[in-house]
Structure 1
């Protein structure tokens, strides 16, 4: 006989006060209730209930066992719920927010694969370069580029965004080609407004890290606007490789400082009190597969 089932029956007897009431609640016979209780007592070697013709009451051993039984049954219920969740198919509306350039050039091309694998999920993707309020604006998860500020959100680290400094051939012909990051201080740099990239650019090379303060006659909070400015010869752009890839391949823009690296952190965030539903869990796993970082140690507070 299933010991967990016997413990459930025993708890019902203790709560309801009689075999008959427990039998009705469990939809079994009173004789079967008695059999469950006797099996537990035989296994434990102690009497759990004092029996009279009208009512049953707990012994001291029965009270102690009941307390632990409730804990065990609660843990069993929780474990079964987790297992049920893992079996459940992802379904429902999934609301995602991402930066414009990343969402356009990196995330959007991957979403058909996710949606094909999860046909019962409806995706609502919003692209914005402002910092949205995940909870107040009702998002399930958000992608965020740049250094995270203290918050109550859970963050999963993804592969950093690779930034490329570039300029048009016409600009470089007029102003010369920077040979070192410090040379950028004398160039027209196109800053990404509302972020640290409006004031300073950071590069890593064999000699270590170099932080360059920049001056921006023109800045914008849109990678597309900065790209258009760079194509028009207005200055040096420093933006995600995916945004600039076609222009670099065609020669409309020319990469500068090829021996220097520049990256921007990327995370996916969700609320700690938001239950990891199958749809959210499936998307977090998908994002980690597509944009994961081998150095990532899992989720952490943002």
Structure 2
């Protein structure tokens, strides 16, 4: 078997956590995924993965081998990028990372439009609310929200990220309208669990501590939006997610004087990939699309 392909299969299996998911991503059968990993284990003379019916775990040797394989794949990608840069038109696989709400609501439609313009580009969009190391994990570009820490990555501003504080008319009729952040302590609030590290409701006031008394909490913004529309409580979430509900009157904006300040949205990517036509055209396309809607 092709040793490099087997290494790619192994890395994909580790990161996806499933032979079935890996098979879908690589357009193989699960049995072929298993054969590639078995071939590596036979060549190396040691198990790399321990599998049960529910989970798979890296062995100590597997962890070390995985880290080395990742580095090899990064170097190969850089070499291919140098060759691709000599091409006059975009082509090849573009791997993009974004948060769940932004990726599904805003980025996915723009990515589809981009692919129609550039038919030789294939795009893999990964949506997660965890921090992604795009170099170590092999992404070409990531969409980041908020002020960026100093790094070696190139950052290009796309737009501004705004949030809104809202509740349904039914909820407000039953519980009243809060006038200050402190009033929220007497209300039912909804919590986005992935925002705890960014302050959560303390974005409104550093003295507001309601995290232990949240009426409903989820790591999915859409689930919270549904809860707010159904009158379960007050929501703090991206304005773009609530725009249609606000315009239709299903949600009413609250506390406008206390809404957190808008933060920038950037596309970030490694410097060694900035000459890739598929990457530069994609980022330019996003900048253009956002400028038209500003």
Larger radius of gyration: 1
Q: How does 1:1-302 map to 2 (within 5 A)?
A: 85=85, 88-195=88-195, 196-202=198-204, 213-216=208-211, 217=214, 218-258=216-256, 261-262=259-260, 263-291=262-290
Q: Which position in structure 1 is the counterpart of 2:37?
A: none
* Alignment deviations for residues 255-298 of structure 1 (CA, whole Å, 9 cap, x no partner): 223456542331111123334211111111112212359xxxxx
CA–CA separation in structure 1 for the residues paired with 2:184 and 2:147:
23
CA–CA separation in structure 2 for the residues paired with 1:213 and 1:260:
12
Q: CA contact under 8 A between 1:165 and 1:256: conserved in structure 2?
A: yes
Q: How many residues align?
A: 206
More helix by share: 2
Q: CA contact under 8 A between 2:165 and 2:259: conserved in structure 1?
A: no
For structure 1, the 5+ residue unaligned runs are 1-81, 203-209, 294-302
- Secondary structure of the residue aligned to 1:213 is coil
Compared CA separation, residues 276 and 124, structure 1 to 2 (3 A): same
- Secondary structure of the residue aligned to 2:265 is strand
Q: CA contact under 8 A between 2:181 and 2:208: conserved in structure 1?
A: no
CA–CA separation in structure 2 for the residues paired with 1:236 and 1:188:
6
Q: CA contact under 8 A between 1:191 and 1:197: conserved in structure 2?
A: no
- Secondary structure of the residue aligned to 2:130 is coil
For structure 2, the 5+ residue unaligned runs are 1-81
TM value normalised by structure 2: 0.61
Q: CA contact under 8 A between 2:110 and 2:286: conserved in structure 1?
A: no
CA–CA separation in structure 2 for the residues paired with 1:172 and 1:102:
28
CA–CA separation in structure 1 for the residues paired with 2:185 and 2:210:
7
Query: RMSD in angstroms over aligned alpha carbons?
Result: 2.9
